[in-house]
Amino acid sequence: MESWMIAFVVTIASWLAQAILSFKEGTFSLRQLQNRNVAVNFHGRYHWQHLPMSFLNNWTVSIGDLFIFPIINALVVPYLWLISGWQWKYFVCFIVGIAVSAIFHRAWWGHDENLGHVFIDWNWNIGMERTNLWVHFWFMAVQVAIVLLCIFTPMPDMMVVWWASVLLSVFVIIQNVQAVVIQKGGSPKFLFLTLVELFVIWAIVIIKIA
pLDDT of residue 51: 67
The answer to whether residue 75 is domain-embedded is: yes
User: What does residue 47 show for φ and ψ, rounded to 5 degrees?
Assistant: -60, -30
pLDDT of residue 25: 79
The answer to whether residue 124 is domain-embedded is: yes
The answer to whether residue 192 is domain-embedded is: no
Domains in the chain, number: 1
The answer to whether residue 149 is domain-embedded is: yes
The answer to whether residue 83 is domain-embedded is: yes
Neighbours of 81 (CB within 10 A): 9
The segments of the chain whose pLDDT lies below 50 read 120-129
pLDDT of residue 98: 92
pLDDT of residue 128: 41
pLDDT in tens, 164-180: 999 999 999 988 887 77
pLDDT of residue 47: 59
The mean pLDDT of the chain is: 79
The answer to whether residue 80 is domain-embedded is: yes
Q: Which domain holds residue 62?
A: 3-155
pLDDT of residue 9: 96
The answer to whether residue 202 is domain-embedded is: no
Q: Rounded to whole angstroms, how far apart are CA atoms 37 and 83?
A: 49
Q: Provide the CA 75 distance to its chain's centre, in angstroms.
A: 17
